[in-house]
Amino acid sequence: MMAIADLPPTFTTGTARASGIHPRDLYDARETGLIIELSRGVFRHATAPAASFPDFLAVTYSSPCAIVCLLSAAAVHDLTDEIPPTVQIAVSRPSRAPRISFPPTTAYRFEPSTFELGLTRIDAAPGESVRIYNPARTVVDLMRLRHRIGEPQAFTALHRYLRSRDASPVELVQVAAALGVEGPVLHAVEIASAG
C-alpha cells in the first residue's frame, strides 16, 4: 500500500484509491492540511511547489481531454488584461461537457476535426503541463465567437497579437481558413494593420 506522501504532487481520488489509500485517510489528510483540495476529487500536496495556474490543474485533472481556450488562453498569452470569471475550456463536440463546480468553468464544444488545431502545452506547475491553444488559435476562436465572448475582447486580442514579437498573420489566416472564418479574420487583420 502506498502512502499519501508517495502520490504525485497533484492527484485525484481515483489515483489515491488505485494506490490502496482509503478515502477516509485521504479526507483526514485534507483536514489536517497535508493536502489541499483544488476541486472536487482533485488534490495537491501542501508542500508541492507553487502552481502558476492551480485552476487549470484542477480542471485538467477533472477533464483530461479539455483544452484551455478563449479568454483563459488569452490571459496566459498576454492577449488581454481581462481576468475571465471562469476557466474556459474546449471539449470535442461528441463528448459531454464536464460538470465542474469549482473552479467555475465554462465549456465550449468544438468540432472534432479541428479540435487539436493549435494545441500546445504550458506548465501549470513545475513538471505538470496542461493543454492550451496557442496564440493564433486563441485569437481566431475569440474572433469567431465574438458574439458570445465580446467584440472588444476579440479585437483587443487581435491587436495585441499583431503587435507581438512572435506574430504571424499568415498563421492566423491559415488557422482561420481551417476553422471556416478566413474572410472575417482576414478583413479584421487588414483593418488592424492599416490602423
In the chain (195 residues long), the average pLDDT of successive 10-residue segments reads 80 89 89 91 91 92 92 96 92 81 90 94 94 97 91 92 90 92 80 66
Q: CA end-to-end span of the chain, whole Å?
A: 64
Residue 54 to residues 38, 124, 143: CA-CA distances in angstroms?
Answer: 7, 7, 27
Looking at residue 108, its pLDDT comes to: 93
**Cell numbers describing residue 83:** 481576468
Looking at residue 125, its pLDDT comes to: 92
Looking at residue 1, its pLDDT comes to: 43
**Cell numbers describing residue 104:** 467555475
Rounded Cα distance, 92 and 74, in Å: 20
12 Cβ neighbours under 8 A, 6+ residues apart: 41, 42, 43, 61
Rounded Cα distance, 2 and 139, in Å: 45
Looking at residue 2, its pLDDT comes to: 63
Give the pTM. Answer: 0.88
